[in-house]
Structure 1
Amino acid sequence: MGYRQFLYLSLLFGTILTPPVAAKHCYYYDLTDTQQCVGILMHCGKEEDCYQGQGIARGISHIISKSCVEATNCGRELSVDYMGVTYKFMTYCCSEELCNASPPGPMQAEPDRNIVAASVGLVLLLSWLL
């Protein structure tokens, strides 16, 4: 196989196996005092990160929330009113796809087996050609 054919084949497989660039997804649910909330998927903006927030108030159960937030607001403590009580609320941010999932919320999906199999096939093919 010539150099030109090898180059075309490499470009073809590289194009097929390269995942499309998409907006970051995070889980969302509004302020709640229950751990049984199942988040829904949402698209975040280019300058946003996923977050999990937790609020505490003396003598009262804590509140939680998940969503997207501007990266500049990560790690800040805020005062949040919920059901007539003021809570100290802290946001904990992460920047990967669906990274704000945690029990009891939905878990992240497994890697796509088709992509893994195609990648292994490409490596084997290229090692055979070289």
Structure 2
Amino acid sequence: MVLGWLLLLVMALPQVMTGAKECIFCDLTDSSDCTGIPMTCGEDEECFMGEGTAPGLSPVINKGCIETTSCGNEEAVTYQGVTYSLISTCCDGELCNRAPIPAGILKAGATTGLALGMQLLLQ
């Protein structure tokens, strides 16, 4: 029974912030599917997603950590010989620049966690 209460407590508490933020890194790509890999940002950095455009071409994207002062800035980047206008949009929170998670998956995970916690409590 104590294990059940402990599980519910751990699930309910927010994660402890250590100053370092985890973000997703994805190199410049023309693929809209950029799941990337986790990386740790510096103290004065935020997670970002950059979207680059060029006339008549599909957009390019990248993700990672960027200095807070560069959020929202526009810069020229070259990808496969083409110069794109890239705007970096910052976000707050751990892994906030990851690919969107379908709502059904989050709901299923929460339901499963709650069911397991209740089962442990009732034992």
TM-score range, shorter chain: 0.5 to 0.7
Unaligned runs of 5+ in 1: 1-16, 118-130
Residue of structure 2 equivalent to 1:85: 82
Cα RMSD of the aligned pairs, angstroms, is: 2.6
Rg (Cα) greater in structure = 1
Runs of at least 4 residues off by over 2 Å: 17-22
Distance 2:99 2:35 in 1: 10
The 1:19/1:54 distance shift into structure 2, 3 A limit, reads closer
| TM-score of the two chains, using structure 2 as the length reference | 0.67
Whether the aligned pair in 1 keeps the contact of 2:23 and 2:38 (CA below 8 Å) is yes
Give the structure-1-normalised TM-score. Answer: 0.64
1:68–1:18 distance in 2 versus 1, CA, 3 Å: closer
- Tell me if 1:54 matches 2:51: yes
The 5-angstrom pairing of residues 111-130 of structure 1 reads: none
Gaps of 5+ in 2: 1-12, 118-123
Match of 1:33 in 2: 30
Aligned-residue sequence identity (percent) comes to 44
How many aligned residue pairs are there?
Answer: 96
Contact 2:35-2:98 at 8 Å conserved across structures: no
Structure-to-structure mapping, 1:65-104, within 5 angstroms:
65-103=62-100
